Amino acid sequence: MRILIANVNTTSSMTETIHAQAAACATPSVEIVGLTPSFGPESVEGNFESYLAAVAVMDRIVRYDEPYDAVIQAGYGEHGREGLQELLDVPVVDITEAAAQVAMLLGRTYSVVTTLDRAVPQIQDRLRLAGLNERCASVRAAGLPVLELEADPARAVDAIVEEARLAVAEDRAEVVCLGCGGMAGLDRKIGDATGVPVVDGVAAAVALAEGLVRLGLTTSKVRSYAQPRPKTVTGWPITSRFR
């Protein structure tokens, strides 16, 4: 089984972090392939960047020409999952939704701790559209930019622990989701500090993607995610025009 996991930004070190976390969680027989978009922002923090990243991820996936069994979109609260589902015949798992689903199996309510305050509304909107927001106690921001997770991991852990504790004490969360692909690997530290289960979206997505592949299930093509109709699409894939 081969699972593609797409970073949503162009920072390759973050792709490596995500890949490492995914590979560590996967069962041994599963191959994880990390992909980095060819264009777009170095980190995704807002709608403009997220829309651009959505297209860049789709562009990157359609140019991958080896066989694969599932795709994971490793951006938290980002646009684009529905487009991938239309284009592909294999299951597509978004880490935002995977984390929420796993959290809902573990406790009655969950909170998400993300990076910047401006990411909060996007995550809330993605959870609402996914129909997974009813048991979401809160989405909190640790107040640090995505790239700082790598630059200063100790400070990042402290800030995330602080918000996770507030989520449990004040928002009555029973589980905490790490709301950024770049937080992969921090789950145990945060869990030790808070006493509740901590769900990393990348890990959750790997488990769900593996499960779907084993069950032989893939995206319904009946209506919402039917294959695009044949038509003239100028400039696609976009990377073919860049060279």
Q: What are the C-alpha distances in Å from 27 to residues 1, 31, 106, 206?
A: 10, 9, 21, 9
d(CA 224, CA 99): 23
Would you count residue 6 as binding a second copy (CB under 8 A)? no
Give the amino acid at 15: T
Cβ proximity of 161 and 190 under 8 Å: yes
Of 128 and 155, CB closest to a second copy: 128
To a second copy, the closest distance from the beta carbon of 153 in angstroms equals: 20
- CB-nearer residue toward a second copy: 13 or 211: 211
Q: How far apart are CA 100 and CA 157, in angstroms?
A: 21
Applying CB under 8 A, what is the total number of residues that bind a second copy?
Answer: 91
Q: Which of residues 59-78 bind a second copy (CB under 8 A)?
A: none
Q: Please, how many CA atoms are within 13 Å of residue 243, restricted to the half-sphere of its CB?
A: 5
Stretch that binds a second copy, among 14-22, 154-162, 178-186, 210-218 (CB under 8 A): 210-218
The token pair at 162 is 């602080």
Which structure tokens are listed for 16? 């490596």
Q: How far is the CB of 134 from a second copy (least distance, A)?
A: 4
Interface with a second copy in residues 29-58 (CB under 8 A)? 38-43, 45-52, 54-56, 58
Give the span between the Cα atoms of 214 and 35, in whole angstroms.
23
Contact of 97 with 125, CB cutoff 8 Å: no
> Does 111 sit near a second copy (CB under 8 A)?
no
107 contacts a second copy (rule: CB under 8 A)? yes
Binding mask 161-190 for a second copy (x = CB under 8 A): -------x---x-xx---------------
Residues between 119 and 148 with contacts to a second copy, criterion CB under 8 A: 120-122, 125, 128-135, 145
Among 20, 87, 166, 193, contact with a second copy (rule: CB under 8 A): 87
